[in-house]
Amino acid sequence: MRVQKKLRTYLERPYRMNLAFDRESDAWVVRYPDLPGCLAHGNSPDRAIAEGEEAKSLWIASALESGFAIPEPSRETTHSGKLVLRLPKTLHEAAAEGAQEEGVSLNNYLVHLISEGVQRTGLKNLYAHFEARPGNKRSRELIERGRRQSAAGRSGAR
């Protein structure tokens, strides 16, 4: 009973989760950087996240039962979210036109494009960070469109 109470306490802590698509295994992978070796995969982002939550729970429960120390969640404070970027005038103009065509702000449009590019390189899936933002309906629509296009590209490549 005491282990269950401790487990709940640890599961409430804000452990960072990374979600990325792994081309080699053709699966979405969830990793918890603060919990060494704790990872899971799934055939969709939602499935990978669900499997990741279960893996995190099992990892912490196992550590508690074995008497191993459980790391504290790290605090990621090095990135403020503000980025100043200089672009060639022609690129700036093209981006502004793209944003206008999509009916979104230039900032939202660039965030979408950067997210898509970062995901495509396999470094990290930023979609999850933006999906959870309340009141950001248009960004979620752009993100969902990007996911459908990525999925269509993957299925067409086979």
For the entire predicted model, the pTM comes to 0.51
Radius of gyration of the chain (CA): 19
Domain 2-66 in this protein, CATH class: alpha beta
Per-residue pLDDT of the chain (158 residues; tens, 9 = 90+): 576 778 888 888 888 888 888 888 888 999 998 998 899 999 988 889 999 999 999 999 988 888 888 888 887 666 677 888 898 999 999 999 999 998 989 988 898 888 777 766 654 444 444 444 444 455 455 555 555 555 555 455 43
Sequence spans of domains, the chain: 2-66, 89-156
| Contact partners, residue 17, CB within 8 Å, separation at least 6 | 30, 31, 32, 49, 52, 128
The letter for the amino acid at 49 is I
